[in-house]
Amino acid sequence: MTRLNQIIAVEKGAKTRTQRELADVQQVLQKPGLLSGLSRTYRPKDEEGETLPPESTRVQVKAEDALRDVAKALTRLFDVVATKDWANCEARADVVVDGQVVVAEVPVTYLLFLEKQLAEVAQLIGRLPVLDASESWSYDEGQDVWRTDPVETARTKKIPRAHVLYEATDKHPAQVETYTEDVIVGTWTKVAYSGALPARRVNELRDRLERLQAAVKFAREEANGAEVVDRRVGDAVFGYLFN
């Protein structure tokens, strides 16, 4: 009994061979000389006249024969593709991850779709923003975001000061030096918020995705291993078309 994966393997070769044979037929049909023939005989006007040998050209290509060649080439391809497509409607498998059936009885065509889409999801997960590991984060239920612990920093202000170098006397004024001093006038309390994800969450998503991708591939291989019934479509199509 033929299996679906065997039909899939044969299909590409059948298409290539059929395209080549069709191209050959079309090329031949475009050469009028091969489709033409003639027969010419010569008869002198009287008995003393010169005799000439007859001339003839045979028809080398017949359009009906070309149609039969086309039908023969396409019939095999039609049957292979029909067998595959009918089998695709019936070939199914469960997607199983860690013994749990995630999706049951999935058609092989949908498994191919799923496999492609999961590859795109993998790219998305690879670009997910991750919380800064240098900070300590906790989840803020009220704001539905991640937050850091409060960090306090002092706010300072430059205050002008004066320093008397020499006191005033009856002969000289006082000598005073001015300068500024940073004085703490308040405290900033900073809390950072983020909508990114913890690294452990991203790693968990990546791990689950990889296991799901493996399960989908396994299911596809299992579905492609299903036995198929050979379909005979080509004879019916060309039996009607070229009758």
178: helix, strand or coil: strand
Rounded Cα–Cα distance for residues 194 and 145 (Å): 6
Q: H helices of 97-137, where?
A: 108-126
Q: H helices of the chain, where?
A: 4-29, 32-35, 63-90, 108-126, 199-224, 234-241
Q: What is the pLDDT along the chain (243 residues), one digit of tens a residue?
A: 678 888 888 888 999 999 999 998 888 888 888 888 889 998 888 888 888 899 898 888 888 888 988 999 899 999 999 998 998 888 999 999 999 999 999 999 999 999 999 999 999 999 999 999 999 999 999 999 999 999 999 989 999 888 877 787 877 887 888 888 888 889 999 999 999 999 999 999 999 999 999 999 999 999 988 888 888 999 999 888 888
Report which secondary-structure segment, H or E, holds 145: strand 145-148
What pLDDT was estimated at residue 16? 92
What pLDDT was estimated at residue 1? 67
Burial environment of residue 83 by CB neighbours within 10 A (0 to 12, 13 to 18, 19 or more): buried
- The amino acid occupying position 211 is R
Closest CA to 78 of 229, 235, 243: 235
What pLDDT was estimated at residue 94? 96
Rounded Cα–Cα distance for residues 213 and 111 (Å): 10
| Prediction pTM value | 0.67
Q: CB under 8 Å to 162, separation ≥6 — which residues? A: 176, 177, 178, 179
Rounded Cα–Cα distance for residues 96 and 211 (Å): 9
